[in-house]
Amino acid sequence: MADEKAGKSSEAASRFPSVDRLIELASGKEDKGRSSSKEPTDKSMWKLLLQLRPLLPLLTRLVPMLDVAVAPLQTAGLSADVRKTVAESIADSTAKLQSAQRDLNSTVTAALERQSATLMQLEQQLDRLRQANESLGAGQARLREELHALARVFQIAAIAAGILLVALIVMAGVMLVRAGN
């Protein structure tokens, strides 16, 4: 009986290879046989899948339970009406799941588009900030050069004023010496 359950679960796993692949990706295990050329470049999608990671074990448990629950109904030899009711119920459930998947897909797509637009805006702001920083740096360099030139002018003016003061003192001394003679 345990062999039957293991056989059924392995059959269910072989029927859903994409679920197995998602579980491998979520757990961090890489399949060596797969090519890496199919890896998407959008890392935000992987972040979203990693957020859905806690649901994967529940789904893997649900598929074998559905297989176990539906298998007796198929082999029980029930009347056509019961089989039709069960088939309709399964079809309705499948339709609801597909609808939910479409809704989730559209929600994820819209979220990815919003994230992409936000990233583009951030890149544009970063470019503007980089340009403003470069122009500010260039302005500061010009100001530094102008301040050095102004300091040099003040030094020359101070030296000239000192020379004129010394010349004035010498002239005053010469005049006093002549006035005293």
Residue 40, domain member (yes or no):
yes
Backbone angles phi, psi at 9, to 5 degrees: -70, -35
pLDDT band at 29 (very low <50, low <70, confident <90, very high): low
User: What mean pLDDT do residues 171-178 have?
Assistant: 92
Per-residue model confidence (pLDDT) at position 139: 94
Average pLDDT for the chain: 79
> Rounded to whole angstroms, how far apart are CA atoms 150 and 157?
10
Q: How many domains does the chain have?
A: 1
- Comparing 164 with 56, the larger pLDDT belongs to 164
Containing domain of residue 47, as a range? 1-76
Between the alpha carbon of residue 95 and those of residues 17, 59, 89, 103, 150, the distances in Å are 21, 17, 10, 12, 81
**What tokens were used for 83?**
């089989």
Residue that is written with structure tokens 């897909």 in the block: 105
Average confidence (pLDDT) over 161-181:
92
Report the pLDDT value the prediction gives residue 78, as an integer from 0 to 100.
56
CA distances 156 to 134, 152, 161, 168, Å, are: 33, 6, 9, 18
pLDDT at residue 77, as a whole number: 56
pLDDT at 144 over 80: yes
- CB distance 47 to 111 below 8 Å: no
Give the pLDDT score at 98: 86
Q: Confirm if 112 and 45 have CB atoms less than 8 A apart.
A: yes
Name the least confident of 13-22, 92-101, 145-154.
Answer: 13-22
